[in-house]
Structure 1
Amino acid sequence: MNIPAGTLGLIANPRYDWMYSFDANDQAGHRDIFCPRGRVLGGSSAINGSIYIRGARSDYDRWASLGNTGWGYRDVLPYFTRHENFEGDSSPWHGVGGELNVTRLRSPHRVSNAFVAAALEAGHRFNDDFNGATQAGFGHYHVTQRHGERMSSSRSFLHPVLSRPNLTIVTDALVERILFQNRTATGIEFVHDRVKHVFNARREIVLSAGTIGSPQLLMLSGIGPAQHLSDLGIRTVHALPGVGYNLHDHQDILMAFDSPRSDLFGLSIRALPWLAASPFSYYLDRKGPWTSNTVEAGGFFKSSASQIEPDLQLIIRPLLGNQPKSRIPRGHGFSVHISLMRPASRGRLLLRSADPADKPLLQSNFLSGGDDARRLSLGIAEVRRIVSMPAMSAFRGDEIEPGKHRQSEDALSDYVHSHVATTFHPVGTCKMGTDAMAVVNPDLRVCGIDGLRVADASIMPAITSGNTNAPSIMIGEKCAALILG
């Protein structure tokens, strides 16, 4: 699990992945959309692409403008730098000496370098640090690695303190509900080895089950929309209508290109020599293809001049990403993900039943709001322009997806609606705020409940720009500070 390229064998593997899906909707081709979530210590940070992106300054200032005092960019930056150990030049934007190692890729693939060069040829600016002064531009992503190994939140923060006497870890356990006395959280009930157990809280409980697990557990415990709970026979402890609402994600469109180059990740007879040499490069020198997170480079840009700030993110992969059932794709090519940073579409999470073992219903409502589909179509056009630049000529083959036959506005719109997916960044189902639909207040306390906080991506009132692992860790860091006062 610590080999970065090993993410290809972790996602869609039931041993490590909860294997959730967004349910089909009219705007997204009437099909279920895969939504992986980590089923291991460290959660999704143990199976993700290890990209370290904090988001734009305006993301957090927007949170603060919604009434979330203490969550503006200047407020949260110290919590990012506090736990960071940045392996790079000294910078006011980065910290040194923290638990989480942030660095650059050791052996980025040549196609990633070429893609960045092509973006510059297309007129985009170079950005050497997406977590610095500005997010706009193209370059290589920082990653949560150390010595060529994945550094999940578990390896970074938990493993070094396993010997602490005040820490107990129980794995392979299913938390079924939070226990209450009136409106005060007093403990949790969970099943381990088919036996029910109770842990009682002396002061308070912090719920960090993620965007899917946290609202699910609140509702199973009687905290949520009263009618929904009543319909399932769950006694309402406290009616909180916002639980499960505001579900959203970076909607994603994948483009795939064939390539004549056999050094791109994939299975073929021509690739056997470098595939055979890869383990030796990794174990002897911690370099080579195995150190790749397979999502190495890209950038942020505006879909149109009318946008105030970048609203699309591109991520290039040195492999064909249109073969979801293959751990390692057959044949050679590269893929580009187009991710929508500020989606208007909002969905909802609902319980299917009162059984904690039942996966909840995830209604994505992708492409149902604003001009989400149009902006993704504009992203396709920009990728085509970048890939057509001279810097990509050695890697460029035929466009497999969407394909050259899809050129008109209607054809691209049809492709977007029939192929939209998720960038695996669901957020928002326990929204932080001060309005009637808020689930937690700016201190991350569950509204109307004593002794219970939520600290994970579910509290985001609006999704951050870019990969959500770094902001989620920051939320945990800030929660710890709030608890300590």
Structure 2
Amino acid sequence: MNPPAEILEADYVIAGGGSAGCVLTRRLIDAGHSVILLEAGGDDRSAAVYVPAGSARLVGNAMYDWKYETEPDPSRNGRIDSWPSGKVLGGGSSINGMIYLRGIPADYQRWVEQGAKGWSFPEVLPYFLRAERNENGASEFHSDQGLLGVANLRVKHPFNRLFVEACVAAGIPRNDDFNGVTQEGVGYYQATQKGGLRCSTARSYLRPVRDHKNLRLLMRAFVSRIRVRAGVAEAVEFEHYGVSKVAVARREVLLAAGTIGSPKILMLSGIGSRRELDQHGITCINELAGVGRNLQDHPGIILSYDVNMRTMNVEVHSKWRFGLRALQFALMRRGPGTTPISHVGVFFRTRPELPAFDAQVHFQPLGYEVTAHKVILAEANRVSLAVNVSRPQARGAIRLRSSNPQDAPIIEHPLLESNADVRTLIDGARVMRGIFHSPQLREHVQKEYLPGEAVTTDEQWEAYVRAASFAMYHPVGTCRMGDVTDPNAVVDAELRVKNIARLRVIDASVMPSLPSCNTNGPTIMIAERAAEMLIGGAKRHPV
């Protein structure tokens, strides 16, 4: 007979120590509440995590990445992709490309129209500001008082300037602040960094309270299910180094396991489609057909060019240059060691008649390729850019593979099922090719490496797009917010799981639709707003 599970207890139990979980923990601790934080991954305190230039080596590394695999994608010749997910405190904010963006007001108005009342841009902007500590100072659209470091790039490369000038000459407006009045245009990204180091939520929010008397932080704590009795979430069951334990919540259980993890845990707990749960022998306690549905990500493709000036690839592959740059980073926190993967952003219209931008570019003065399972850095002097669709139409799903919590879920995402998204990628790629043929860049470009100048017709472009496209690692939507009358909504506008008391989902999975940008900033905003909801509710309803 197995021994009884060890029982822990706190005001709040948070399942998931990623971008949202760290924010929630800090805010609840600061408000005087006790918290149990359960993280299935390991510690974030590693040079591999905090040196920004190492981010490409985190993705696909089993120490830091869950390395989920998708099902074969019929829209891309049956391709099977590896989907990164942070296996470390800070989650995605500890392994991502560090680009800090918010999206545009229309993104959040679309959320409202999809049933997320109270989440319009004027209503969410204060929570972006609450999080932000921008090194450029405070303004109407920025704060310098938050916990999340937001910084300008600390590395410069001459090709960045040339690329910006070529975009402006092509009619794309210059934009010095993508999080200001407008997002459209070309300019330099800001990154979630502080002092030249990655500023994940584990570093910025969690680290100062890791030893707080009101926090019980457990890493390598693998959640198996949420215990629900009579329609009330009471506890979280988990394994910690092979030992079964239970974390009891006096107030609420907060699920912050991400777009892949949160729906999986709900389904293992009996919350989801009855038909699918029956297939795995799981008793359905709350039929919510939307759990795991509505999966979205930005599809993207790479264009790359061999150039006649030294790019950052040489800094990586030359031993003496690498040593010199490592010393520069160690002594001054400057140079290529501080770089996120992308330097220059472009938000542009793939056709001039469009009412708003429909594509985004991540440009970097180094060459890389995204294969099904890893990112490969070139050894040649090469520059690259990724074009992605800002508001894609494809939808996928997260499903259970079995009732065993240790089994990875099934990820089904026909990334290019929408011909409109394919069209946007083709048109966007052609715009960017035109910029590399412009007088500002032509004398520096030796050849187009990807897809190659032989690709010219619509048919050839579509073949390249379907063979080489990939998800931009921005998955959202699988526990989406909506009106309580919407049969496909999983949580209401206060992120409470429908029909279950004292249970909320707080992470990127609640987004009804993708914002027109990278998703870490919006995820942190969601957690900031949720924390205020929780703290305000706790004041109204003391235990």
TM range (shorter): over 0.9
CA distance in 2, matches of 1:370, 1:74: 33
2:279 partner amino acid: D
Indicate yes or no: 2:384 matched with 1:335.
yes
Q: Pick from 445, 449, 473 the counterpart of residue 500 of structure 2.
A: 449
Give the corresponding residue for 1:351: 400
Q: Pick from 144, 147, 152 the counterpart of residue 96 of structure 1.
A: 144
Give the corresponding residue for 1:474: 525
Question: How far does the alpha carbon of each residue in 1:290-326 deviate from its partner, in whole angstroms, 9 at most, with x for none?
Answer: 1111211121011223432211000112222126556
1:158 partner amino acid: L
Structure 2: which 5+ runs fail to align? 1-48, 537-543
CA distance in 2, matches of 1:481, 1:286: 35
The 8 Å contact of residues 267 and 328 in structure 1, kept in 2 or not, is answered as no
Does the C-alpha gap of structure 1 residues 257 and 175 become closer, same or farther in structure 2, counting only changes over 3 Å? same
SS in 2 for 1:185: strand
Deviation at 1:260, TM superposition (A): 2.9
Deviation at 1:267, TM superposition (A): 7.0
SS in 1 for 2:362: strand
Question: How far does the alpha carbon of each residue in 1:50-104 deviate from its partner, in whole angstroms, 9 at most, with x for none?
Answer: 0000011110111112222210000000000012111115420001111001110
Indicate yes or no: 2:516 matched with 1:465.
yes
Alignment of 1:370-449 (within 5 A): 371-393=420-442, 395-434=444-483, 435-449=486-500
Question: How far does the alpha carbon of each residue in 1:84-130 deviate from its partner, in whole angstroms, 9 at most, with x for none?
Answer: 11111542000111100111001132222221121112111000000
SS in 2 for 1:440: coil
Give the corresponding residue for 2:332: 285
Does the C-alpha gap of structure 1 residues 146 and 267 become closer, same or farther in structure 2, counting only changes over 3 Å? closer
Give the corresponding residue for 1:170: 218
The 8 Å contact of residues 262 and 268 in structure 1, kept in 2 or not, is answered as no
The 8 Å contact of residues 34 and 422 in structure 1, kept in 2 or not, is answered as no
Q: Pick from 296, 302, 318 the counterpart of residue 365 of structure 2.
A: 318
CA distance in 2, matches of 1:393, 1:110: 15
Q: Pick from 341, 347, 355 the counterpart of residue 300 of structure 1.
A: 347
Matched length: 484
Q: Pick from 164, 170, 190 the counterpart of residue 122 of structure 1.
A: 170
Q: Pick from 56, 59, 74 the counterpart of residue 26 of structure 1.
A: 74
Does the C-alpha gap of structure 1 residues 338 and 327 become closer, same or farther in structure 2, counting only changes over 3 Å? closer
Give the corresponding residue for 2:159: 111
CA distance in 1, matches of 2:267, 2:530: 22
Give the corresponding residue for 1:87: 135
Deviation at 1:400, TM superposition (A): 1.4
Give the corresponding residue for 1:239: 287
CA distance in 1, matches of 2:356, 2:174: 16
Deviation at 1:43, TM superposition (A): 0.1
Does the C-alpha gap of structure 1 residues 268 and 201 become closer, same or farther in structure 2, counting only changes over 3 Å? closer
The 8 Å contact of residues 267 and 330 in structure 1, kept in 2 or not, is answered as no
Deviation at 1:328, TM superposition (A): 4.4
Deviation at 1:389, TM superposition (A): 2.3
1:223 partner amino acid: I
Structure 1: which 5+ runs fail to align? none
Indicate yes or no: 2:128 matched with 1:77.
no
Deviation at 1:411, TM superposition (A): 0.7
Deviation at 1:268, TM superposition (A): 8.4
CA distance in 2, matches of 1:123, 1:342: 22
CA distance in 2, matches of 1:13, 1:448: 39
Question: How far does the alpha carbon of each residue in 1:149-192 deviate from its partner, in whole angstroms, 9 at most, with x for none?
Answer: 10001101000111321111100111000001021110000001
Give the corresponding residue for 2:44: none
CA distance in 1, matches of 2:137, 2:528: 24
1:423 partner amino acid: M
The 8 Å contact of residues 267 and 277 in structure 2, kept in 1 or not, is answered as yes
The 8 Å contact of residues 367 and 417 in structure 1, kept in 2 or not, is answered as yes
CA distance in 2, matches of 1:278, 1:81: 34
Indicate yes or no: 2:96 matched with 1:48.
yes
Does the C-alpha gap of structure 1 residues 118 and 330 become closer, same or farther in structure 2, counting only changes over 3 Å? same
SS in 1 for 2:233: strand
RMSD, aligned CA: 1.5
Give the corresponding residue for 2:277: 229
CA distance in 1, matches of 2:505, 2:156: 37
Alignment of 1:251-270 (within 5 A): 251-266=299-314
Q: Which runs of 4+ in 1 moved over 6 A?
A: none
Deviation at 1:330, TM superposition (A): 2.3
Indicate yes or no: 2:502 matched with 1:484.
no
Give the corresponding residue for 1:68: 116
CA distance in 2, matches of 1:457, 1:115: 32
Does the C-alpha gap of structure 1 residues 458 and 318 become closer, same or farther in structure 2, counting only changes over 3 Å? same
CA distance in 1, matches of 2:117, 2:370: 45
Q: Mean Cα displacement is larger for which, 453-462 or 393-402?
A: 393-402
SS in 2 for 1:190: strand
The 8 Å contact of residues 208 and 456 in structure 1, kept in 2 or not, is answered as yes
Q: Mean Cα displacement is larger for which, 131-140 or 297-306?
A: 297-306
2:313 partner amino acid: F
Deviation at 1:368, TM superposition (A): 1.0
Deviation at 1:136, TM superposition (A): 0.4
Deviation at 1:264, TM superposition (A): 2.7
Deviation at 1:32, TM superposition (A): 0.5
The 8 Å contact of residues 141 and 298 in structure 1, kept in 2 or not, is answered as yes
TM-score with structure 1 setting the length: 0.97
CA distance in 2, matches of 1:234, 1:273: 58
SS in 2 for 1:245: coil
CA distance in 2, matches of 1:16, 1:155: 16
Taking every aligned residue pair, what percent have the same amino acid on both sides? 39
Deviation at 1:399, TM superposition (A): 0.9
SS in 2 for 1:384: helix
Deviation at 1:261, TM superposition (A): 2.6
CA distance in 2, matches of 1:272, 1:385: 35
CA distance in 2, matches of 1:425, 1:268: 27
CA distance in 2, matches of 1:424, 1:335: 17
